Amino acid sequence: MKRNIITLPGDGIGRTVLDETIRVLDKAGFEAEYIEGDIGWEFWKSEGNPLPDRTIELLEKHKIGLFGAITSKPKDEATAELDPSLKDKGYIYSSPIVGLRQHFNLDVCIRPCHTYKGNPLNFIRRGKGEAIEEPLVDVVIFRQNTEGLYGGVEWTNPPDQVYEALATHPRFIKNFKHVPKEELSVSTRIFTKKATERILRAAFGYAEKYGYKNVTVCEKPNVIRETSGMMYKLAQEIQRTDYPGIELWNTNIDAQMMWLTKNPEIYGVIVAGNMFGDIVSDGFAGLIGGLGFACSANLGEDVAVFEPTHGSAPKYADFETSIVNPIAMIESACMMLDHIGEYDIAKKIRKSVSTVIEEGKVKTYDMMKMAGKPDVTDNGAASTSQMADAIIANL
């Protein structure tokens, strides 16, 4: 039976990397019906909504989305680009990928970062004496995707009830009571037990399924006692009762970023709230090649959307020959394949990607450390489709 997959190309390079990925999926033997969903800047300009209801309905029906990237712009710029007939009608721009995560409660974000042998972008460090070491990173970050500091509950010059509630806290009285209300900006960091437990259980479950020996909660529980503290405490309970065979580690986000270059190879699964998960996953992605390699999954209880972590890279979007690296998108599609149980096809594609990188004959401009100019392909860099061709040839 053919699967229905909703493709969400979006803007800029989103469409290019998605098209190349579908070519790889086809050649790898994945049988699917691709149904394109409208999303992105074009629909903001023409309809005042970058995430039309018909796209939501498609995902609601078919459950699996493969997303390229979108362009976001600040509110005022966005309004200026609206179709004249829609201006002054109260449309306010908001990011459609954030909208998707919220609408479908895609609260579990998974971002694997593993070293590809032979990738010229791999992190290397100084070892003892003159030794140069290239640590093998194999980390999977679980980021809570819907709450915390990115939950959107925030105010400048907060309303009276909020101010009064804040003023019941002894620390607020001590540190902020003398500040005029108009000069206060407040962003909340709300964690719920349910979502925290879901991200932790997802992390432990993954560690067990794929044989990782440790799960690290990367927060700051000694200072952010309520939210980080709750996450770590729940992690301890879950580990004790359900995963005694997996070690639970506890790191602070600041120290973790310092240790990133010291010993990244010792970590397995890392779990964090929304913002710290965002930070630590970008940090690890930097060790394994950066945006051209960073893939992700957004999982809800019902719907799942898979996407590279990079954006629409507008600078490169209009090159006659696309030069961007499609691997982040292809790896995101492999995560989709695992999610729907197509393990063999995922394995086959991953193996081919590894082979192409290790052989080193075909490299996109980022892997050659070139500046992203249209002429990189004249100077030995592979184009987006040449990279996809090489991966297809190795399947």
Which of Mg ion, ligand NAI, none is residue 380 near (CB under 5 to 8 Å by kind)? Answer: none
Whether residue 96 contacts residue 39, with contact meaning beta carbons closer than 8 Å, is answered with yes
Which of ligand NAI, Mg ion, none is residue 16 near (CB under 5 to 8 Å by kind)? Answer: none
Residue whose CB is less far from ligand NAI, 105 or 236? 105
Q: What are phi and psi of 210, to 5 degrees?
A: -105, 10
Site string for Mg ion, 260-279 (x = CB under 5 A): ------------------x-
Sheet strands (E) in 82-236: 108-114, 125-126, 132-133, 138-144, 154-156, 185-187, 214-219
Residue whose CB is less far from ligand NAI, 251 or 332? 332
Residue whose CB is less far from Mg ion, 278 or 331? 278
Q: How far is the CB of 9 from ligand NAI (least distance, A)?
A: 11
- Token output for 375: 């002429």
- Nearest residue to 35 via CA among 62, 70, 71, 69: 62
Q: Using CA atoms, how far apart are residues 124 and 135, in angstroms rounded to an integer?
A: 7
- Nearest residue to 328 via CA among 383, 290, 365: 290
- List, in order, residues 6 or more apart from 208 with CB less than 8 Å away: 243, 245, 246
Which of Mg ion, ligand NAI, none is residue 19 near (CB under 5 to 8 Å by kind)? Answer: none
Residue whose CB is less far from ligand NAI, 315 or 351? 315
Residue whose CB is less far from ligand NAI, 65 or 292? 292
Residue whose CB is less far from ligand NAI, 72 or 227? 72
Residues of this chain that interact with ligand NAI (CB under 6 A) are 17, 69-72, 97, 291-292, 307, 310-315, 324-325, 328, 366, 372
Which of Mg ion, ligand NAI, none is residue 227 near (CB under 5 to 8 Å by kind)? Answer: none
Q: What are phi and psi of 191, to 5 degrees?
A: -115, 135
Which of ligand NAI, Mg ion, none is residue 71 near (CB under 5 to 8 Å by kind)? Answer: ligand NAI
Q: Indicate the residue whose CB is closest to ligand NAI.
A: 311
Residue whose CB is less far from ligand NAI, 70 or 304? 70
Per CB under 5 A, does 19 bind Mg ion? no
Q: How far is the CB of 57 from ligand NAI (least distance, A)?
A: 21
- Token output for 232: 């770590």
Q: How far is the CB of 277 from ligand NAI (least distance, A)?
A: 15
Q: What single DSSP character describes residue 147?
A: S
Which of ligand NAI, Mg ion, none is residue 278 near (CB under 5 to 8 Å by kind)? Answer: Mg ion
Q: What secondary structure, in 3-state letters, does 107-125 show?
A: CEEEEEEECCCCCCCCCCE
Site string for Mg ion, 350-389 (x = CB under 5 A): ----------------------------------------
- List, in order, residues 6 or more apart from 322 with CB less than 8 Å away: 13, 16, 316, 383, 384, 385
- Nearest residue to 120 via CA among 346, 297, 2, 289: 289
Ramachandran quadrant class, 48 (left: phi over 0; alpha: psi -120 to 50; beta: rest): left
Ramachandran quadrant class, 267 (left: phi over 0; alpha: psi -120 to 50; beta: rest): beta
Q: How far is the CB of 383 from ligand NAI (least distance, A)?
A: 11
Residue whose CB is less far from Mg ion, 311 or 326? 311
Q: Interface with Mg ion by CB under 5 A: which residues?
A: 278
